[in-house]
Structure 1
Amino acid sequence: MMSSFEDILRTVGSEVQEVLQNVNTAALAYAAEQLNSGRRMFVMGEGRSGLAGKMFAMRLMHGGYDVYAAGETITPAIQENDLLIVLSGSGKTPGLVHAAEKAVDSGASLLVFTTDPGSPLGKLSEGNVKIPAATKYRREEEPDTIQPLGNQFDQSLHLMLDALIIYAQEQNGSEDNDAFFARHSNLE
């Protein structure tokens, strides 16, 4: 049976809303404290989570934070007291785990956004935010979704990260749209 486009939109929207309503707000408040700690931040993920990470890093830059997208050619070395933010649905992507281990060995702090706080990345981190969404693995504890692969995780992650920046900015003495716009790219 074929669904209508309206039914699909409604279902996807409701799935993402349910995930967002089940994110632990105390964990998000901790994440906002980390964003507002004044440290340099490095954001990384792979695949679509990596794309969400680049969007997050861009919005952090617009908010006046000292942030880098890890893996870019102009990204400096991570150092003691820096913050590495890793986005990984499974929490076990080998390249991300390796990078997180190197960051921790360098004395940096680690903040992880994942569906599995008990994963290798979750265990390495000082704090993690659980995104209770489905991944491509469809583990028993994950919610049902009509969406393929990790779409539910990536979409929920993106919206939650945007909300996190809004919250962090409010805690930090909110900047308005004009302040964000002043840091927006103007070479286009």
Structure 2
Amino acid sequence: MYIQTILKEIDTVLRQVEENQLQDIALQLKKANRIFVIGEGRSGLMAKSFAMRLMHLGATVYVVGETITPSIASGDLLVAISGSGTTKNVVWTAEKSRSLGCSVIAMTTNPESALAEVSTEILHVPAATKYRRENEIKTIQPLGSLFDQCAHIIFDTLCLQFSKLNEVDHTVAFGRHSNLE
């Protein structure tokens, strides 16, 4: 019973996300010199999983805050994820990135948030967050689970589109998978 309800919730949200926009974003990822991702908490975990998948597909990608992350520069792209669009560190990083001439794609439920305002593109995911704002859809799930699930699927869709643009198949991606396990 719960699985079917969760799947229906995810479907309700993802039907509102434009695949054409995702194709455009995949093209932006391909054209970027380097890709940086940022998110905090569970959104940060989604950002890190996205970065890992992009690395498997041959992208030069970094997670903001990791010890080996270099400085960002003009021509680079930041993907910033925050359900509420108000996470201070994410918003500050987006502002800093824009001031350095970088494009910023915001993934958020709130297209009028501080994060959305400083971004060059908004990827609106109309899911519920932990704040349960009045305009958010209803969910049986706690906290921001619905947003996290939808973010994961959207990021996987972007990776699939990115792989097609770059002609990266399973064998090539598998060759980039960790072999220190």
Q: TM above 0.5, one fold?
A: yes
Q: 2:95 aligns with which of 80, 98, 101?
A: 101
User: Structure 2: how far apart are the matches of 1:117 and 1:25?
Assistant: 17
> Does the 8 Å contact 2:32/2:75 carry over to 1?
no
In structure 2, the partner of 1:174 is: 167
User: Superposed, which structure 2 residues align to 1:1-188 within 5 Å?
Assistant: 7-170=1-164, 172-188=165-181
Q: Hey, which bits of structure 1, 4+ residues long, moved more than 6 A? A: none
Which deviations, in whole Å up to 9, do the C-alpha atoms of 1:62-113 show, x marking residues without a partner? 0000100111000001111111110110111111111111111111111111
> Does the 8 Å contact 2:32/2:76 carry over to 1?
no
The number of residues matched between the two structures is 181
Q: 1:75–1:173: structure 2 CA closer, same or farther, 3 Å change rule? A: closer
> Does the 8 Å contact 1:112/1:122 carry over to 2?
yes
Tell me the CA shift for residue 24 of structure 1.
2.1
What amino acid is the match of 1:126?
Answer: T
> Does the 8 Å contact 2:80/2:105 carry over to 1?
yes
What amino acid is the match of 1:168?
Answer: F
User: Structure 2: how far apart are the matches of 1:99 and 1:112?
Assistant: 11
User: Structure 1: how far apart are the matches of 2:91 and 2:154?
Assistant: 22
> Does the 8 Å contact 1:27/1:127 carry over to 2?
no
Tell me the CA shift for residue 173 of structure 1.
4.1
User: Structure 1: how far apart are the matches of 2:93 and 2:84?
Assistant: 15
Tell me the CA shift for residue 14 of structure 1.
1.3
User: Structure 2: how far apart are the matches of 1:138 and 1:28?
Assistant: 26
> Does the 8 Å contact 1:24/1:129 carry over to 2?
no
Q: 1:173–1:97: structure 2 CA closer, same or farther, 3 Å change rule? A: closer
Q: Secondary structure of 1:89's match?
A: coil
User: Structure 1: how far apart are the matches of 2:12 and 2:128?
Assistant: 12
> Does the 8 Å contact 2:127/2:137 carry over to 1?
yes
Q: In structure 1, list runs of 5 or more residues that go unmatched.
A: 1-6
Tell me the CA shift for residue 118 of structure 1.
1.2
